[in-house]
Amino acid sequence: MAVIGKIREKAGWAIGLIALGLGLFIVGADFFGPKSNLFSNDAEVGKIAGHGISAKEFEAEVEQIKATMAMQGQNPTEQQLQQIREQVWQDMIFRYAYQPQFEKLGIGLSPEERDDMIAGDNIHTSIKQTQVFQNASGQFDRTMLDRYLDYIESDSARPQDKQLWENFIVNQLPQMRMREKYDNLLRTSLYVTQAEAQHEYEAQVAKVDAKYIYVPYYSIPDSTIKVSDDELKTYLSAHKNQYKGDETRSLKYVTFPIMPSAKDSADLKSQLVDLAKQLAVAPNDSSFAIAESEIEVPGNGSYQVIGALPQEIQNTISTLIPGSINGPFQDGNEYYIFKYDGAKDDSIPSLRASHILFNLPKGASDSVKAQTRKQAEDVLKQIKDGASFEALAQQYGSDGTAQRGGDLGWFSKNGQMVKEFEGPIFSFNGSGLLPNLVETEYGYHIVKVTQPKTYKKYKVAVIRKSIVPSEATRNEVYRKASAIGSQAKDIASFEEAVKKDPTLSAYTADRLQPQATSINTLVNARSIVQWAFKDDTKVGTVSTELFELDNPNQYVIAVLTGKSEKGSPSVDAYRAELTNKVRNQKKAEQIISKLGDLSGTLDAIAQKYGAQAQVLTGTDITMGSNSLPSVGMEPAALGKAFGLKVGQKSKAIKGENGVIVMEVTKQTPAPQIADYTQYKTQLKQNKSFSVTYLAGEAIKEDADIEDLRYKFY
């Protein structure tokens, strides 16, 4: 019955989580927050395959999931609400875009197949991976599933559990299964020709050695190359197939962090001085400390082993006088004071130690163990001879303590550490280096006791408060931000206003999607995204309001710098990328002109050009790598190299990273082979990873999805 109780508590919501996760198999989610009333009679949140999704239809499905959660005693957080809305949207994409494609192909799910996936010989993976149907070792336990199925069919099953399960087996599970069938159909339809396999073989096996001149684009300062809007438009027109016309926005913005001032810090310190006087005479200092502390201190006011005390108190506790008031002390963005109420003896000792772990993998052979032990003993000898324990811990330690010199902190002899580790350490008297290695299931440890064992428990009452910006500080930051906002009327004046203040920096965000919730490092920035996508926010518009964001708390002013509508890519939407492309083209022309007619050796040409021209060599270069040593991805240069004869020099090549002149010094053709099966298999596996994604993208493109949720959330 205990097992059934556990299932009743957890399995229903666990099944619900499977449903919540289903939307992720179509696309990755980008979430959003609430905005306005959805219940206008003619409002639509989008259109999928010609089907208009009314706000009422969409919100009804959202409310259905929320109601089910409420039956489970769950009140969705804002993040969960965003996930629910995304799940509903993905369900609708499946219903109106994917489902018709499946029906055309005759893909369906019979009742018998569904039953087999739930309780037959072929349990679906999503059920097997549900935690409540797994044993202690994380393996699927059929008994746990059978018990749940018995429960869900019994009269004692809660209605909310039945509803979740019904939704899962009627809606979610069939969707997952049909998508799996569709994906498998695509994968099994893949075919690789003999010519493709031969080309792949040659790309991997044929090699050349080459010498080449490389003049990087970064050798010419960007500031010396001017790019006009007409040039950007010409480039975009010539490469329009490379740029999608999605609905996006680009902006520049400046942030004004709301940070505590020096006065705020001083005022809080003064407040803590007054509280210290009150703490000294409080009838119940523990209750007073807990009531006045803004930050929870575990075990505040009770007797604790030294390892449970705040770190900064541990270091001084042995020197304190009972009844003393200590502080205020600053710890980062906090101040604290504490009253020391003395110590009492305890039967369980505590100590502080550091270690250097030489890790042994599970099942390590005797030779590996001997080699690891030898290394640990050598390091132990170095420490005995005077080497720094902390420095060697950073060099050789194989766990998370290495970065802090091996420090394990304070711990008690109460099972916190494995017995093989506790035994020799707590048997050691005083402090210092243990003379021998300590062996545990994790490997070999070099141990140093840094604070000797103590049987004491200590009582301290701590008051801790955060240093926060005062109202006056907030007003000053608001005033500064408003001043910038009042000066900025367009992109140029925005940039000029920011330049005048050396403490400010303008940041760029390109091609924001309508459902974005973050902008670069700005989290919970949905309000800025919604402003950018308003119909009356034109390119060049500066936000008239100060956006206030939290985590961290700050004001933000933004200016819209680019706008792209669906189906028509614009220069503004891709300005930064297009500018870089055109600028590099112009740099390439300058470099090629300066290189001249390329007569003479590569070294002579490079010397004539100047220090920016590097002469590099590469050995065993393959076509499949797409990369040149010390240069990076350069498919055009590689292709040219494999078309040259030994000793032949190429013309100057406009590469991805700079201008390149190739000269092949050695060729190693791929030997003829009779069987290309291995390469056919490789290509088929590689294609199988992408074919389902590409097919999904094709389905969504064919459905002409119009997502207008950003107007409502």
pLDDT tens digits, 43-98: 899 999 999 999 999 999 899 888 877 877 788 887 788 888 988 999 999 999 99
Mean per-residue pLDDT of the chain: 89
Q: Where are the domains of the chain?
A: 2-187, 207-238+578-668, 244-259+470-573, 264-466
Backbone angles phi, psi at 621, to 5 degrees: -80, 135
For residue 328, cis peptide bond before it (omega within 30 degrees of 0): yes
Read off the pLDDT of each residue in 184-206 and give the average, rounded to a whole number: 93
Which pLDDT score, from 0 to 100, does residue 46 have?
A: 92
Across 504-527, average pLDDT:
91
Contacts of 374 (CB under 8 A, 6+ apart): none
Strand partners, 168: none
What does CATH list as the number for 207-238+578-668? 3.10.50
Tell me the pLDDT band of 460, cut-offs 50, 70 and 90.
very high
Least confident of 67-71, 80-84, 459-463, 682-686: 67-71
> Given this chain, do its domains 207-238+578-668 and 264-466 carry the same CATH topology?
yes
At 42, is the pLDDT very low, low, confident or very high (cuts 50, 70, 90)?
low
Structure tokens given for 245? 């016309």
CB 686 within 8 A of CB 678: no
How many helices (H) does the chain have, and how many strands (E)? Answer: 24, 20
Residue 317: CA count within 13 A, CB half-sphere:
27
Q: Which residue has the higher pLDDT, 617 or 39?
A: 617
Q: Which has the higher per-residue pLDDT, 556 or 29?
A: 556
Going from the C-alpha of 208 to that of each of 40, 214, 643, 644, 661, the distances in angstroms are 67, 17, 10, 10, 15
pLDDT in tens, 305-352: 888 888 788 878 888 999 999 999 998 899 999 999 999 998 889 999
Query: Do 245 and 507 touch, CB atoms closer than 8 A?
Result: no
The pLDDT, as a whole number, for residue 607 is 95
Sheet holding 653-654, edge to edge: 614-622, 207-216, 658-668, 653-654
Amino acid at 535: D
Q: What CATH number belongs to 244-259+470-573? A: 3.10.50
Q: What is the pTM of this model?
A: 0.62
- Strands of 44-48's sheet in order across: 51-54, 44-48, 706-707
- Residue 15 pLDDT level (bands cut at 50, 70, 90): very low
Contact 450, 431 (CB under 8 A): yes
Rounded distance between C-alpha atoms, residue 327 and residue 289, angstroms: 14
Task: Yes or no: say if 683 and 197 are a contact pair by the CB < 8 Å rule.
Answer: yes
Beta carbons within 8 Å of 279's beta carbon, 6+ residues apart: 285, 288, 289, 292, 325, 337, 339, 461, 463
C-alpha 286/C-alpha 302 separation (Å) is 8
CATH class of 264-466: alpha beta
pLDDT at 573 over 90: no
Q: Which sign, positive or negative, has the C-alpha torsion 415, 419, 421, 425?
A: positive
